[in-house]
Copies of this chain bind each other. A is one copy, B any other.
Amino acid sequence: MPIYKAPVEDYLFVLHDLLRVQDLKDLAGFSELTNDLTRPVLEGIAQFCEDKWQPLNQSGDEEGCRLENGAVRTPKGFAEAYKQYCEAGWNKLASPERFGGAGLPGLIGMAAGEIAVGSNAALALYSGLTNAALSTLEVTGAPWMLEHIIPKMVDGVWTGTMCLTEPHCGTDLRLMKTKAIEQPDGSYKITGTKIFISGGDHDLSDNIVHLVLAKLPNAEGKFVDDLSSVNFFLVSKQNIDPNSGRLSHRNGVSVGAVEKKMGIRGNATCVLNFEDAVAHRLGSQSESKTSSAAGMSGMFLMMNRARLGTGISALGVSEAAYQNSAQYAQERIAGKPAKGSNQPHAIISYPDVRRLLIKQRAFNEGARAFGSWVSLLIEKQRNASEPDQRRRAGDLAQLLTPIIKAYFSDRAFDGTNAAVQIYGGHGYIRDNGVEQFVRDSRIYQIYEGANGVQAHDLVARKLGADGSRAYEAFASEITVAIESCEEVGLDDLSDALRKAAKDLEAAVEWVRANSGSTYDIAAASYDVLNIFGVVSIGLMWARAARVAHDLLKANRADREFLERKLVLARYWMERELPMTSTFLERAALGSRGLMDLAAAAL
């Protein structure tokens, strides 16, 4: 049976030693974030997920979801485990107090999210998407929605979905066919088919709130392939009385199918058919009601949150995979590691197995630190006292979001595959539970804009516009980390990071110099994203190394933990950062050679 132990100690290190959240007095709610609060919260959700969710992970995958008489049945135990999770309040740690949440910073929500996913990715997704949906609704919903809908979602008794994709279009929203027709009472009726709707139907909650993209007709009453006609709507599975908030009759939303998927099989991925479904238009309350931007900005808000969530989810599965492979490597006996010994050893004695394990762990811990830092930046963007601080934090968070989504999911997938590799043939057998991590983690490279789209977002949008301001902020963070390592003689780390940062600088300069050449920028995007990714984790390792160095010097008791941080930091600097030179060399080729063939010749 697979194991899972939530990385509570590592989160406490990240929160209190690395980010020192307890010292951020100017951020609302942060001064209370001492170990006295964070430890019991994280230990609480850890214990719950280890005890109640993780044991359902493999059985949920085996059983999957099924459609019975038009309703989706989730795997045995899911509904009960979901309810217990919400009743204990683990779903709403970071939800606003005014809606019934615990009001903790998003940073804690991220930690909770990783732990929930690490224990059971399919089950966690129902709650994760509900939180993304309610955050969006908070900004785009009408007052009656805030009053009657959001509190239900915060409590988890209603769940949420996002309905974007249609059979023939995903990324390109202009091609969307789902139509919305305004009704005399100001509501809308929506008709169309949406696919890949995670948690589109299930038996976990009383109601499901769908956030739906659909097109409005133009002035001539026609539906055109144009982004400006795409708007954002709320469609409830059961209709809701806006005055009382009570559920009434069933809305015109039905489940066309539940997809059979590669992984995340315990989460119901639905085809949803909307037939004259009652819908309410959403939009930023500060924007004109007729502005289509209201719809798109709502969607992007949700997407941004979901992108971070996707990266952190990938980390969660990667961590679970790592733990199992480390345990297996410690227990599996094979061969003698060195000449002269005739005693069989565990396979963890083999350098190539070590390489795989350290690679996994150095990514996981570096990513955890990086994701936490970006979560903190988002808090600062919202709540820092000075406008400059808010702007700087926002710049950085925007820049780094596609990196978390794409780089984390790519590396997490590699990590789950490394776990299978360590198991050898046993990894390929479903009963052993480790191949499930590969199948589950594979989705994160696709969710919320495939990773190629993330890379394009990075180079074309995030490094364009105000991008140089964002990049300069990032570069200055790297410089601080380099100097911080140098101060205490960690020169091997700082030298490696400086070298990689130069490659990053060169890549960014190349992007700027070639910004007029659409194809070149697009062709280089993936390599540029990889440079950002490996340097971002390197930045966190430089910071973590300095902290660990200082704490070791101060003789703190957790020496093994701190020494491991230094070993993992060195691993990353010595064996991962050097990749930047090849990435840069390749990026600088632009589209050379890639577009030479006729499409039909491939």
Query: Which positions in A face B, CB cutoff 8 Å?
Result: 165, 168-172, 174-175, 195-196, 225, 259-263, 326, 329-330, 333-335, 337-339, 344, 346, 348-358, 361, 413, 417, 420-421, 424-425, 427-431, 435, 438-439, 442-443, 445-447, 450-452, 455-456, 518-520, 522-523, 525-526, 560, 563-564, 567, 570-571, 574-575, 578-579, 581-582, 585-586, 589, 591-602
Contact = CB atoms under 8 A, between A and B. Distances in A.
Nearest to A586: B575
Contacts of A564: 597, 601
Contact of A438 (B262, B526, B585): B262
A582 B496 CA distance: 13
B175 A262 contact: no
A102 to B, nearest CB: 33
Nearest to A519: B351
Contact of A354 (B175, B581, B594): B594
28 contacts: A165-B425, A170-B334, A170-B424, A171-B335, A259-B431, A262-B420, A262-B429, A326-B602, A329-B602, A330-B599, A330-B602, A337-B519, A339-B518, A350-B522, A351-B522, A351-B523, A351-B594, A352-B456, A352-B525, A354-B602, A413-B417, A421-B445, A563-B597, A567-B597, A570-B593, A571-B593, A574-B592, A575-B586
A361 B456 CA distance: 23
Nearest to A326: B602
Main secondary structure of the interface of A (DSSP, over half): helix
Given A337-B519, A352-B452, A352-B523, 9 more contacts: A170-B424, A171-B334, A172-B333, A175-B334, A175-B344, A351-B523, A351-B594, A428-B446, A560-B598
B425 A446 contact: yes
A152 B441 CA distance: 45
Given A262-B435, A523-B351, A575-B589, A599 B346 contact: yes
Nearest to A334: B172
Given A420-B442, A582-B582, A430 B262 contact: yes
A582 B586 contact: no
A326 to B, nearest CB: 5
A428 B450 contact: no
A568 to B, nearest CB: 9
A587 to B, nearest CB: 10
A592 to B, nearest CB: 7
Contacts of A225: 344
A591 B334 CA distance: 20
